Amino acid sequence: MDRQAAAQAIDAFLRALGRDPAHEPELAGTGERVARAWAEELLSGYAVDVDHLLARNVLRGTSDLVAVRDLPVATVCPHHLTPSLGEATVAFAPDEHLVGLGAVAQLVDAFARRLALQEQIGQNVVATLARHVSPRWCACRIVLRHGCMIARGERSHGARVETVAVIAAAGTDRTLAHQVLGVGR
């Protein structure tokens, strides 16, 4: 990422909206701060090799069920570039492999900190888990409050958007996955 070009673009954006960082003290340095925030935080997921992350955290073992709940999610809507905040739950029924729980949290964060739709984040999480752990089923539930729905357009302040992604082996009943995730709560 070219941070200097990004900072200049933010300053130009503010000027296009009738605000001038050179003449408004509260906007001084905003271009640089915004560019740094996007590079180091909001889009940091692009720097994470998710396959490497999981490959180094997979171990042999089994359990009836693994569920990691209340994982914080901070992402940016690719349509309006506004933040969406909430939580994720990731659950899976291991077959012969487990994965470190911290790696599950890092996996969610890596996909959330990219310009991606909420639905894509969950799908990417379960696809990557399925590829590395080969569980009987795996699922990801994400519940977010979208800044684009709160600050503009519909102004739906209490709205939460819930998405569920499930990958299951052929013939596997997905009912348990939905129950574990608390779908509809």
pLDDT tens-digit series, residues 103-138: 999 999 999 999 999 999 999 999 999 999 999 999
pTM (2 d.p.):
0.90
- Nearest-angstrom CA–CA distance, 119 and 109: 14
pLDDT band, very low/low/confident/very high, at 180 (cuts 50, 70, 90): confident
Answer whether residue 99 shows pLDDT above 70.
yes
User: What confidence score (pLDDT) does residue 149 get?
Assistant: 81
Left (φ > 0), alpha (ψ -120 to 50) or beta: where does 171 sit? Answer: left
- Nearest-angstrom CA–CA distance, 45 and 113: 5
Left (φ > 0), alpha (ψ -120 to 50) or beta: where does 73 sit? Answer: beta
- Nearest-angstrom CA–CA distance, 36 and 16: 21
Burial of 3 (0-12, 13-18, 19+ CB in 10 A): middle
163: domain CATH number?
A: 3.30.1130.10
Question: How far is residue 1 CA from its own chain's centroid?
Answer: 20
User: Is there a single domain that holds both residue 12 and residue 89?
Assistant: no
Domain extent at residue 127: 48-181
Answer whether residue 62 shows pLDDT above 90.
no
User: What confidence score (pLDDT) does residue 151 get?
Assistant: 83
User: Is there a single domain that holds both residue 66 and residue 83?
Assistant: yes
User: What confidence score (pLDDT) does residue 157 get?
Assistant: 79
User: What confidence score (pLDDT) does residue 105 get?
Assistant: 98
User: What confidence score (pLDDT) does residue 153 get?
Assistant: 73
What's the start-to-end Cα distance of the chain, in Å? 40
pLDDT band, very low/low/confident/very high, at 183 (cuts 50, 70, 90): low
User: What confidence score (pLDDT) does residue 178 get?
Assistant: 67
User: Is there a single domain that holds both residue 107 and residue 173?
Assistant: yes
Backbone angles phi, psi at 130, to 5 degrees: -60, -40
Answer whether residue 23 shows pLDDT above 90.
yes
Domain count, the chain: 2
User: Is there a single domain that holds both residue 173 and residue 110?
Assistant: yes
Closest CA to 132 of 153, 171, 104, 160: 104
User: Is there a single domain that holds both residue 33 and residue 58?
Assistant: no
Closest CA to 176 of 166, 98, 144, 185: 166
User: Is there a single domain that holds both residue 176 and residue 138?
Assistant: yes
DSSP state string for 73-118: EEEE-TTT--EEEEEEEEEEE-SSEEE-HHHHHHHHHHHHSSB--H
User: Is there a single domain that holds both residue 175 and residue 84?
Assistant: yes
User: Is there a single domain that holds both residue 80 and residue 167?
Assistant: yes
User: Is there a single domain that holds both residue 122 and residue 168?
Assistant: yes
